[in-house]
Amino acid sequence: MKAHTRESQATMTPQKSLQFLKEGNIRFQNNLKANRNLLEQVNDTSDGQFPFATILSCIDSRVSAELVFDQGLGDIFSVRIAGNFVNEDILGSMEFACKIAGTKLIVVLGHTSCGAIKGACDDAKLGNLTKMLGKIKPAVNAVKLPENPKLRNSGNIEFVDAVAQVNVQLAIDNIRRDSPVLKEMETNGDIMVVGAMYNINTGEVTFM
């Protein structure tokens, strides 16, 4: 499989880009990697890059977007931060990726058993981590059940995963609210913004 070129990127639509990722995740789940020569792709992308998707995911070592979607060099922009939330720096990166570099799809990818989500659920305090986890607290507060405070912590994995899903949706809401550039592109059909959850037990990505 060759690296994307300006010509192949131009043929990609938001829907086709999403389908590429879905097919890649199926290959990943079945341990059937696409045939790529990565060193050849290094050479092919040395004069430019033409990725088709931008993926915001967690820094979790088990959730590498390139691997779980079976993509090669030059295929995707990968933005990673604990808890996969957005701030103005990440929004600026996404605006570059879509408006300037031509990607057709933004995926906010959460995952099960997320450590950052667990920290926010437990109201963890540690240096700069405290302020970072504060950006995830709105998702914790948005999940109303269970009401019992003793069940609203990292020991309740169903609660943790429910918060992770809400956190993905809130990130998408923030993209649309805080980036007029991306909002306009989505309204015009130039890009699509979608959420997804990666299951660390099965390797499956479920799109929301």
Can you tell me the mean pLDDT for 23-39? 90
Residue 9 has pLDDT above 90, yes or no: no
Our count of domains for the chain comes to 1
- Given a cut of 90, whether residue 8 has pLDDT beyond it is no
- Tell me: is residue 121 an annotated ligand-binding position: no
**In this predicted structure, what is the pLDDT of residue 74?**
87
C-alpha 120/C-alpha 125 separation (Å) is 9
Query: Residue 161 annotated as binding?
Result: no
pLDDT of 153-172, one tens digit each?
999 999 999 999 999 999 99
Residue 187 covered by a domain: yes
Asked whether residue 98 is marked as a ligand-binding residue, the answer is: no
Q: What is the pLDDT of residue 164?
A: 98
Which residues form the domain of 45?
A: 6-112+168-207
Give domain status of residue 106, yes or no. yes
Whether the CB-CB separation of 53 and 107 falls below 8 Å is answered with yes
Is 189 a residue whose pLDDT tops 80? yes
Within a domain: residue 107? yes
Question: Is 4 assigned to a binding site?
Answer: no
pLDDT classification of 173: cutoffs 50, 70, 90: very high
111-129 tens-digit pLDDT: 999 999 999 999 999 999 9
pLDDT (0 to 100) of residue 10: 87
- CATH code for position 58: 3.40.1050.10
Q: How confident is the model at residue 21 (pLDDT cuts 50, 70, 90)?
A: very high
Residue 32 lies in a domain: yes
Assigned domain for 192 exists: yes
Average pLDDT value for the chain: 94
In a domain, 120, yes or no: no
In the predicted model, what is the mean pLDDT of residues 36-52?
79
Is residue 148, in this structure, part of any structural domain at all? no
Predicted pLDDT at 26: 98
- By DSSP bridging, strand 205-207 and strand 192-198 are antiparallel
Within a domain: residue 195? yes
pLDDT of 37 > 80? The answer is: no
Band (72; pLDDT cuts 50, 70, 90): confident
